[in-house]
A and B are shown apart, each in its own frame.
Chain A
Amino acid sequence: MFGYNLTFESPLWLLLLAVVPVLWWASLRSLAGLGRVRRVMALLLRSIVLLVLIAALADAQLVRTTDRLTVIYLVDQSDSIPVATREQMIEYVKRSWERHRDVQRGDRGAVVVFGRDADVEIGPIADDPPLYGSIETFVSGEFTNLEAAMKMAIALYPEDTAKRVVILTDGNENMGNARRQAARLAAAGVSIDVVPVFTEQQVDVAVEKVTIPADVRRGQPFELRVVLNNNAPPGSGPVTGTLQITRQGSGDAEVIAESRVELPPGKTAITPDVPERIDDPDFYTYEAIFRADQDGIDLQSRNNRAKTFTHVKGRGQVLLIEDADHPGEFGPLVDALKQENILVNVKSTRELFTSLAELQRYDSVVLANVPRVSENATESFTDEQIDMLVRNTQQMGAGLVMIGGPSAFGLGGWANTELEKAMPVDFRIANTKIALVGALCLIMHAGEMANGNYWQERIAKLSIETLGREDYCGLIHYDGGQKNRGNDWLWSRNGRGMLKVGGRRQMMLGRIGRMTPGDMPEFDPGLQMAAKEFAKLTEPAHKHMIIISDGDPTQASGAILRKLANAKVKITTVGVGTHGPADSRELTRIARATGGKYYNVKNAKALPRIYQREVRRLAKSLEFLEPKGLQPQIVSDHEIVRGIEAPPPITGFVLTQRKESPLVDVAMVSPKPADESNTTLLASWTYGLGRTVALTTDAGARWANSWTGWDDYQKQFSQIVRWSMRPIDESESMLVSTDVEDGKVKVVITAWDEDEQFANSLDLGGSVVDPELKERGLKIEQTAPGRYEGEFDADDAGGYFITINPGDGRGVIRKGVSVPYSSEYRERESNLSLLKELAERVPEGGAPGRYIEDTTGGGMESLLEVDVFRHDLPKARSNQGIWHLLLFVGSCVFFGDVFIRRVHVGFGWLTPLMVRARDFVLRREPTPQASETMARLRSRKAEVTDHIEQRKSTTRFEPAADEPVDLDTLSATETSTPRAEPQSPEKRSLTPEEQSEEEDYTSRLLKAKKDVWKGKTPPGQN
């Protein structure tokens, strides 16, 4: 009815309908006194209440059916399709949408683009397509992930429409499973039309792999081989070009071979004339690059290079990273390690590693007083680099040592990072008596910044995640409200806008997710709010503000800036997308006036880095200084302090919180502060396959000056570094080889025992770190005597690092393998069988999709003849739960039931009304009712008078003469009789009859009293 139907989601509850007859039976008896009409009404209402409740329990749904259709175009943007073809695909989408969409019916269209991932180019709109020749959404074209696009589509569909996807692709799927997802689409009633995209076969040369032997030994020549594939259409000639092979060790890359090659169609293996030889132990990367002589002949250039890795074992190496702002700070330490025969490679934060492969030559990495973000915010460790350091330890078994100083641990902004997790101490401390409290206030003004809200949210979330529990945090945004001239605190309690993070962290994060800061006209009100709030906070030792703005608001007044400066509040201003010097000047002025800094950010992505730099100001309280000196105490016999005599006093260290894990070994502590969990000077533990060490004081540059003259200085630091270093398997009892084939990497291990016999039944563990720095499991099984094999998928192009753990305390074996390019650059022909299969899927209740191809040779016009907005699908149904509505109706009807039972509504007024209406309509003289009414009134009065008289006579007090009367009762009766209202004599005069009646009554009462007194004998006389 009216396009709506009713269904029930939980129909089992409808069994309760059996209760309705019971209700009737019970109610008919209990409501017997109501009269027939009211009883029926009450029964009816009760039944309705019950039915409504049962319907609500059964989850009644209102189902609406419509003709509307939504078509989502899934457009392949992967690199296997040439750019020109992609443009044609967009043109097809635009024209077919405009031509076939039924405007009257309200059909909608949408566009999803996909490559490695899928993203929405145009959401479902009932309008013409806003497409202007090119796609604005960026998706990585390295893969084709049709499944992701289908998933995205199904999430986009509005509920109240029929659904169809139109897929434009070459079908070369190399990520996900489109067939599986198509089945789900069909089950959800989504029709699938497919427009196959054909790519012309063209010459394409690919460097498939570079191979070297698995057992490369120092000084021994070996053969290096490059496999190239000329994927050419039949009848093509050879392709000529140059093949260059480079080798990269710890220094610059060097060209080891360069030659002109001629590649006939098919595969060609090329070996340099001179065998390769490695003289210095190191981790080496070989790369082969092919360049065709003729421009444009090679279809893809991204598949023209391939890499391989090899590791020639030798002495252990250590990478020491120092702060670029303080070069040479750890000179004494480096010298000491070198004297202990440890190879140390010193690098500054300006020349940081960029890949996990670069770390492979080192057995330990030392972070020597290095901040996460440098003082001027130009150098920083990215999250990826921190991940690499941690994976290098956790999965690859390398050591990681962090040495203190004012830029390390919590002071260096390392709190809340993966690195903190890897260390034996936490960088934020729980003891509020020691840690000075900080307060941070953020003012958000996104203005015209691109993605302003996103970046502001990100900064705000970072701040809350990074601040300690005892720190205060507040956030002011412009919401256009009536208070504070439109500015407001994002969270507040009891009138306070800056709250302790404490247990409110989740609440604060949640609020930030809902923040939509408006365009703040001026800074002053926000600054005033902040100043007022900072004035209330006496606890925080550091007060800081960060204003993120495009510099657009009106100038801040000098008075408020002076007020903040006097309150020792420092303001850091961050100009994002500022409109030039004029706006920067205002932000600079605010920062300077309060002793803060101004950052001009050209790219909003730099904001987190600036924030991390700024939050270090709040962490200043973690610096524990004692100029009189602190005597370190050795409290363990761990091998890193074995044989070490009492170290000389130090003057400071960075406060940390010891991790509550039995694996943590604290070797050296400070006598202060009192809480021993914060006294750690030297601690270590094993993290994954590697080991990490935390030394919270420095190595002699600042706080441990006296250590440089210490006899055990060299011994102490060499023991720390040596303990952390990755153990080396000297036995050479295993050989690991890898092979990349069809997106999979096969790992083959050959193992011998001490007698040079094949080692069998070994329990080998393995793990892989992929190019995204994610860990993948590697299952290794024995396949032959001494031979073990494992395999893993290598979908992504890049370096994969394999770690084999032989157990028995032996050092891990590492191997790197490079996947040169994804299969996206290997597939050449369209996968039509997959596409046809997708189109043949039959959606539930509808007709199968169409395989739209140009059969007539008419080009795009021919493709456009197929109406993708056709209606061969069942009508869309949209459900809407109405249990809440039913409950409301039920409660209203229940009220009606109570009303019917408790209130008697008379209808006596109806008859006279009808009579009067009749008289009025028929123009009759009204029937004289008055006399009759008066007669009725008189008769009623007479009745009432008689009744009163009768009551008077029956209640009149006429005691019998011989009846004894209790005087106490009598007097009590007199006093308890409700007192009559005082009446004035003028208003109330007694009639003679009443007087005589009253006199009679009084005289009778007195008489009775006298009688009682007469007849009463004193007690004891009976």
Chain B
Amino acid sequence: MRERFANSRSWGLRRGQPRANPLGRAPSRRGVSRSLCLWAIVFVVILGAWIGRVGARNTPPSEGRLEQTWGDRGLEDGRLQKPRAAAVDSHDRIHLVDMSARLQVFDRNGKLLRPPVRTPEFRYGKPTGLSIGPDDHLLVADTHYARVLVYSPEGELLPERTIGGTRGQGPGEFGLVTDAVVDSAGNVYVAERGDLDRIQKFSPQGEFLRQWGSHGDGPGQFRRPQNLAIDEQDRIWVVDACNHRIQVFDGEGELLQMWGSYGTDLGRLSYPYDLVVTDEAVYVCEFGNHRVQKFTHDGVSLGVWGEAGHGNDQLHNPWALVRDSRQRLYVIDTNHHRVHRVHF
């Protein structure tokens, strides 16, 4: 019997067979249980950490749905070369400006509607902000020329309505203009960065009314106010990009709300570059996190759409975000030279 057992090949431990032990003793049953418990705990901890990490990254699942992607890289009419700002007019036409300083107008499906026009000067830099004013006039933040250009709905430059044009720190002077928006009364708010990070308010006639903000990370201060939005109550929403937060002001420059902090998790922000404010939610386009995040008005995250990558539904440093009348978002996927239409 002993010979038979010794000759047979043994694979793994057999039931009842004592475990080889360097001390020459079989471990007690309690010891086995204890080590099993320890291993189980370690396993649970690792699993938990992994789930937590994955969960932090992915949960809650994206609620957005990609409807369409359009745009090709190029300098020909209808193509895009790093588009950085967008606006949607009342006819749901998408206005884009890219690194060739061309203002192009597309329909919802990416069809070019008319020949592009170039800003008058672009040698020192290209515009980085667009918005729609009263009567579908297009406001172009001509960033490096310290001014806001106004175009008619037909794409004609209206020089008499240009705001600014003088570089400086005084009232009505600008550094790098990032965006301009118009409230229901026709007042124009212009954001700028550079020497001064501030917002200036102008009357409908273009007279300087007031200004607020400075460079810094305190409440009411900015580090690169990259874009503005106006809500139904004429509150001014500012994406404070390098402070990774959103600030909300009333028309007099009183800070009403401030939320957001740097991070990659849900609810955090990394270089918010643009935003869309609706009655229900605030959509923020994150340049650093390569995504669009949906928040309540109080800054509670409701989900994200998009992730970093080079796939069809992935983003690479998106700069701008707009929304049409059918509540569809257009994400300007800058480094991919394209536009995603998303239901979110």
Contact = CB atoms under 8 A, between A and B. Distances in A.
Does chain A bind chain B? yes
Interface of A: 127, 130, 448, 480-482, 485-486, 518-519, 521-522, 524, 550, 552, 554-555, 577-583, 585-586, 972-973, 976-979, 981
Given A519-B317, A521-B241, A585-B195, A130 B224 contact: no
A448 B288 CA distance: 19
Given A130-B76, A518-B317, A978-B16, A485 B2 contact: no
Contact of B1 (A579, A580, A586, A973): A973
Interface in B90-126: 99, 124-126
Given A485-B288, A521-B287, A580 B124 contact: yes
Which one of B194, B223, B241, B271 has the greatest number of beta carbons of chain A within 10 Å?
A: B194
Contacts of A521: 224, 241-242, 271, 287-288
B193 A554 contact: yes
B276 interface: no
A130 B270 contact: no
B278 interface: no
B200 to A, nearest CB: 15
Given A480-B308, A485-B271, A524-B242, 4 more contacts: A130-B75, A485-B262, A521-B224, A976-B1
A580 B270 contact: no
A522 B242 contact: yes
A582 B288 contact: no
Interface of B: 1-2, 5, 16, 74-76, 99, 124-126, 143-144, 167, 175-176, 193-195, 197, 215, 223-224, 241-242, 262, 264, 270-271, 287-290, 308, 316-317, 335
A554 B224 contact: yes
A127 B223 CA distance: 44
A480 B144 contact: no
A586 B289 CA distance: 26
Nearest to B1: A976
Given A554-B224, A582-B167, A976-B2, A518 B335 contact: yes
Contacts of B197: 554
Contact of A522 (B74, B76, B223): B223
Nearest to A555: B215
Contacts of A524: 242
Given A480-B316, A486-B270, A555-B215, A579 B288 contact: no
Contacts of B224: 521-522, 554
* Nearest 10 Cβ contacts at the A-B interface: A579-B144, A130-B76, A579-B124, A554-B224, A579-B125, A582-B194, A554-B242, A522-B242, A582-B175, A521-B271
Contacts of B270: 485-486
Contacts of B16: 978-979, 981
Given A485-B288, A521-B224, A580-B167, A127 B124 contact: no
Contacts, number: 79
A482 B76 contact: no
A979 B289 CA distance: 65
Nearest to A550: B125
Given A130-B76, A978-B16, A480 B288 contact: yes
B317 A580 contact: no
Secondary structure class of chain B's binding surface, majority of residues: loop
Contacts of A581: 167
Nearest to B335: A518
Nearest to B319: A519
Contact of B125 (A127, A448, A522): A448
Contacts of A981: 16
Contacts of A552: 125, 176
B126 to A, nearest CB: 7
Contact of A583 (B194, B262, B264, B289): B194
Contacts of B76: 127, 130
Contacts of A555: 215, 223
Contacts of B317: 480, 518-519
A564 B269 CA distance: 28
Contacts of A448: 99, 125-126
Nearest to B168: A582
A448 B82 CA distance: 11
A535 B341 CA distance: 47
B213 to A, nearest CB: 14
Nearest to A127: B76
A448 B99 CA distance: 8
B144 A580 contact: yes
Interface centre among B75, B76, B126 (most CB of A within 10 A): B76
Nearest to A483: B264
A482 B316 CA distance: 12
A979 B18 CA distance: 12
A973 B1 CA distance: 8
A18 to B, nearest CB: 40
Contacts of A127: 76
Nearest to A551: B194
Nearest to B308: A480
Contacts of B288: 480, 485-486, 521
Contacts of A485: 262, 270-271, 288
Nearest to B175: A582
Contacts of B223: 522, 554-555
A829 B185 CA distance: 73
Nearest to B176: A582
B196 to A, nearest CB: 9
A521 B242 CA distance: 7
Contacts of B271: 485-486, 521
A524 B216 CA distance: 13
Contacts of B176: 552, 579, 582-583
A989 B66 CA distance: 71
Q: Which of A127, A972, A973 has the most CB of B within 10 A?
A: A127
B135 to A, nearest CB: 31
B227 to A, nearest CB: 13
A552 B5 CA distance: 80
A482 B2 contact: no
A58 B1 CA distance: 58
Contacts of A554: 193, 197, 223-224, 241-242
A783 to B, nearest CB: 60
A581 to B, nearest CB: 7
A861 B1 CA distance: 105
B99 A972 contact: no
27 contacts: A130-B75, A448-B126, A480-B287, A480-B290, A481-B308, A518-B317, A518-B335, A519-B317, A522-B224, A550-B125, A554-B193, A554-B224, A554-B242, A555-B215, A555-B223, A577-B124, A578-B124, A580-B124, A580-B167, A581-B167, A582-B194, A583-B194, A586-B195, A973-B1, A976-B5, A978-B16, A981-B16
A486 B318 CA distance: 13
Contacts of B5: 976
A524 B262 CA distance: 14
Contact of B74 (A130, A580, A972): A130
Nearest to A978: B16
Contacts of A977: 1
A641 to B, nearest CB: 59
Contacts of B262: 485
A972 B289 CA distance: 74
Contacts of B215: 555
A176 to B, nearest CB: 31
B267 to A, nearest CB: 16
Given A480-B317, A518-B317, A521-B224, A582 B195 contact: yes
Contacts of B287: 480, 521
B341 to A, nearest CB: 23
A208 to B, nearest CB: 44
Nearest to A589: B195
Contact of A972 (B2, B167, B195, B242): B2
Nearest to B72: A127
A448 B215 CA distance: 23
A524 to B, nearest CB: 8
A977 B16 CA distance: 11
A586 B215 CA distance: 13
